[in-house]
Amino acid sequence: MFDALFEALREPEAFMALWADDADIALRGSELAERDDGPAQLRAHVDAIAASPTEIRFVWEERRLHEEGDVAWINATGTVNGAPYRLTAVLVRRRGEWRWHTFSGGEPR
């Protein structure tokens, strides 16, 4: 589930299918403009990524998972296009399957 999100960056339908159907899903990326609240903003963001010729490549070196019932969070450390990147993700279980709810990533300086 975790890696599938990054593999689907160029496939908006597949990317969105990995997210919960909740109205309050959220993504915060490393750029100021990367602030998506709700499915419509998130879809517009991934559509822009899919249309862009710029490569985005995440490599994860460490992942720490904690699960409490139908909620899990992951703290991951790795790189995006070779630059250090950190991510905290919140996933929720819906109808027996894990779905992304919150993505908060950044490039530490």
pLDDT at 98: 98
Q: Which two tokens stand for residue 17?
A: 């299918």
pLDDT at 109: 86
Are 107 and 30 a contacting pair, CB within 8 Å?
A: yes
- Name the stretches of the chain with pLDDT < 50: none
Half-sphere exposure at residue 58, Cβ-oriented, CA atoms within 13 angstroms? 21
User: Greatest CA separation found in the chain?
Assistant: 40
Query: What domains appear along the chain, each with residue ranges and CATH number?
Result: 2-103 (3.10.450.50)
With H, G, I as helix, E, B as strand and everything else as coil, classify residue 80. Answer: strand
